[in-house]
Copies of this chain bind each other. A is one copy, B any other.
């Protein structure tokens, strides 16, 4: 497709077996494009990438502090967690801050996205609840925000609910993109999701990372959430998950968040940069390796040798078969690493 470049390749026997096309854009907080692959103007549903932005009202309104939310609970508010026992526990404790429980969640139920956690739950003879839904923290924060304001949280997933409107206002303000019925879809957890230009999504995260182009209160809320995620990276995803590994290593120096259908965002707060990627085919493996390559390249002035080694290992990984034999490679497309004159 004319509007895409190559994000990643899977090789076997020395040949490219599969490849992922897509788009990527690096912008500064003014929204100036520093680098782009493919058409940065083309629209994308951000899906879960914007969870931290949706959590801003929980902190900005003071609800999180009045209710005594912990760092782990703040981190879970930004999470696509994989349903391990700690995620279930923290999701329940978050709801309990507002005197609520799992019955208030409107996200639906699914087995933990972690296969091991799903099997462990089954081995205990248990069925999943909405606390195992990867969005439970995002939803819990919205329920808490509503309750703190004396609002009935019922229907919080719908666009017209006051807390949903407030969250949408944050998205519109930080991204500078329209968010209304014209570009609205419905996400897996029943909340709305709005198709916006990829570069607007990146701009939102450049701003979120640097705390600019927003009120002082909002910047403080954004900082609290970034610090929470950096302090409790396991909450944001889980064991072996990319976002957890990245932020466990880099702490607040790197913010990253995956979203369904191959979307990914990142922020480099020290450089005021935001990054957004979309694999055209929707695969998650592609933006992971591609983002690692882009972080290596655009954060080059920041990294130690250990940082570089870590990112290089995330940008190119051996594929092993069921006997543990290396049979191929998954890697960021070479062009993402090269300086080019184009």
Are A327's CB and B187's CB within 8 A?
yes
A18, B123: Cβ atoms closer than 8 Å: no
Residues of B within 8 A of A111 (CB): 115, 119
Q: State in angstroms the CA–CA spacing of A44 and B279 once bound together.
A: 21
Known contacts A19-B281, A123-B122; A322 and B12 CB within 8 A of each other: no
User: Does A67 belong to the interface (CB within 8 Å)?
Assistant: no
A109 proximity list for chain B (CB < 8 A)? 322
Contact B119 A15 (CB under 8 A): no
Instruction: Establish whether residues B1 and A21, one from each chain, have CB atoms under 8 Å apart when the complex forms.
Output: yes
Contacting pair A20 B281 (CB below 8 A) = yes
Residue of B nearest to A187 (CB): B321
- The contact of A21 among B21, B106, B321, by CB within 8 Å, is B21
A318 to chain B, nearest CB (A): 12
Interface bits A278-296 vs B (CB < 8 Å: 1, else 0): 0111110010000000000
The smallest C-beta distance from A267 to any residue of chain B, in angstroms, reads 24
How many protomers of this protein does the assembly include? 2
Interface size on A, residues (CB 8 A): 54
State the CA gap A23–B41 with chains docked (Å): 28
Beta-carbon contacts under 8 Å, A295-342 to B: 321-325, 327-328
Least Cβ–Cβ distance between A78 and chain B, in angstroms: 19
Of A144-152, A178-186, A229-237, the one with at least 4 CB within 8 A of chain B: A178-186
In whole angstroms, how far apart are the Cα atoms of A324 and B109 in the complex? 10
Neighbouring B residues of A327 by C-beta, 8 Å:
185-188
Most chain B CB atoms below 10 A, which of A20, A110, A111, A281: A281
* Distance to closest chain B CB from A200 (angstroms): 16
Q: A1-36 CB contact bits vs B (8 Å, 1 = yes)?
A: 100000000101111011111000000000000000
In the complex, which residue of chain B has the Cβ closest to the Cβ of A286?
B281
Distance in angstroms from A90 CB to nearest chain B CB is: 20
Instruction: Provide the A96-122 mask, 1 if CB < 8 A to any CB of B, else 0.
Output: 000000000011111100010011111
The 10 closest A-B pairs by CB, nearest first: A13-B185, A108-B322, A18-B282, A119-B122, A281-B281, A108-B323, A12-B185, A186-B327, A122-B123, A188-B321
